[in-house]
């Protein structure tokens, strides 16, 4: 039921008091906590954290020659607590960031130590206007009593339209990033399954892994300046990725 999926939160850099943790434990004994912090939090008091975002502790992939990390595998990952979804909170992905960083965000995380990214604002656009009518300030500034300082959600992936929120290039970039992750995961599931990999054949499996390794390296280049992506041949990489995902989709599972 729902009680097995519910979580309590949110705990930040300032942790809830023992009395607060104990109260919610008495009301929802099976519920885990949500953490939104700079650090990597495993527990709130004596209650496990079921979903955690971190600013500082996100890890990206090493060069594939050194090793490969499959953050999306979650419970099979040796560096994370069982049952916890661990994500990167990119708090500074605002207007000053290059749009190409939105395009790389999801894959940079699932090839690293995270299941993805999280707690980025959708309609958290500036709500104040200056004397000339220009939008200024963030939604977080509207309610200073609930300010979380450097953990305040100041990103906005959508924009205000005449009748509500509308899409933006930032949003579409992130949608495409997630879609590419879905294709990549479909391929990696086959490569990591001994039976399905055998049916695929080692030669084809090697070609697929080489393609994925190329993408991993592309995610690593220019971490703070992803402008290079525009002229890097990303369209070709994307086309090859989806074509490969379509090919492996019909690889049967073994008994």
Structural domain of 78: 58-248
The verdict on residue 242 lying in a domain is yes
Q: Is 32 among the domain residues?
A: no
Could you tell me if residue 255 is inside a domain?
A: no
**Domain annotation covers residue 52:** no
The answer to whether residue 33 is domain-embedded is no
Kindly state the tokens that stand for 42. 């495993």
Show the tokens assigned to 134: 């220009």
Residue 255 has pLDDT above 60, yes or no: no
**Do 106 and 174 contact (CB within 8 A), yes or no?**
yes
Q: Tens of pLDDT along 1-34?
A: 787 789 998 999 999 999 999 999 999 999 999 9
pTM of the model: 0.89
The per-residue pLDDT for range 169-227, each reduced to its tens digit, is: 999 999 999 999 999 999 999 999 999 999 999 999 999 999 999 999 998 886 666 77
Q: Considering the domain boundaries, does residue 181 fall inside one?
A: yes
Q: What are φ and ψ of residue 86, in 5° steps?
A: -115, 120
Half-sphere exposure of 193 (CA within 13 A, CB side): 16
Domain count, the chain: 1
Q: What is the mean pLDDT of the chain?
A: 89
Report the alpha-carbon distance of residue 5 to residue 164 in Å, rounded: 30
Could you tell me if 31 and 8 are in contact, meaning their C-beta atoms sit under 8 angstroms apart? yes
Q: How far is CA 74 from the centre of its chain?
A: 12
Residue 127 burial class via C-beta count within 10 angstroms: exposed 0-12, middle 13-18, buried 19 and up: middle
Angle among Cα 104, 108, 111 to the nearest 5 degrees reads 140
Residues 217 and 65: their CA atoms lie apart, in Å, by 10
In a domain, 44, yes or no: no
More confident residue, 153 or 203: 203
Number of Cα atoms under 13 Å in the Cβ half of residue 209:
17
188: closest CA among 211, 165, 159, 166?
Answer: 211
For residue 71, tell me if it sits in a domain.
yes
* Cβ-based neighbours of 196, under 8 Å, separated by 6 or more: 189, 190, 251, 252, 253, 254
């Amino acid at each position: 039921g729902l009680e097995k999926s519910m979580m309590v939160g949110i705990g930040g850099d300032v942790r809830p008091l023992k009395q607060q943790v104990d109260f919610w434990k008495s009301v929802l004994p099976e519920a885990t906590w949500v953490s939104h912090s700079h650090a990597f939090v495993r527990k709130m008091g004596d209650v496990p954290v079921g979903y955690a975002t971190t600013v500082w502790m996100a890890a990206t992939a090493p060069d594939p020659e050194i090793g490969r990390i499959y953050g999306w595998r979650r419970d099979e990952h040796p560096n994370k607590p069982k049952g916890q979804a661990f994500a990167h909170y990119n708090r500074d992905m605002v207007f000053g960031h290059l749009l190409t960083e939105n395009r790389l965000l999801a894959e940079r995380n699932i090839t690293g130590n995270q299941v993805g990214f999280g707690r980025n604002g959708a309609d958290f656009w500036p709500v104040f206007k200056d004397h000339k009518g220009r939008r200024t300030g963030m939604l977080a500034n509207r309610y200073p009593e609930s300010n979380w300082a450097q953990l305040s959600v100041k990103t906005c992936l959508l924009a205000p339209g005449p009748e509500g929120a509308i899409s933006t290039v930032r949003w579409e970039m992130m949608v495409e990033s997630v879609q590419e992750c879905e294709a990549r995961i479909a391929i990696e599931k086959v490569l990591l399954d001994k039976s399905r990999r055998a049916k695929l054949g080692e030669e084809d499996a090697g070609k697929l892994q080489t393609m994925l390794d190329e993408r991993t390296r592309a995610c690593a280049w220019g971490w703070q300046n992803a402008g290079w992506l525009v002229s890097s041949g990303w369209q070709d990489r994307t086309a090859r990725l989806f074509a490969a995902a379509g090919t492996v989709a019909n690889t049967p599972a073994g008994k």
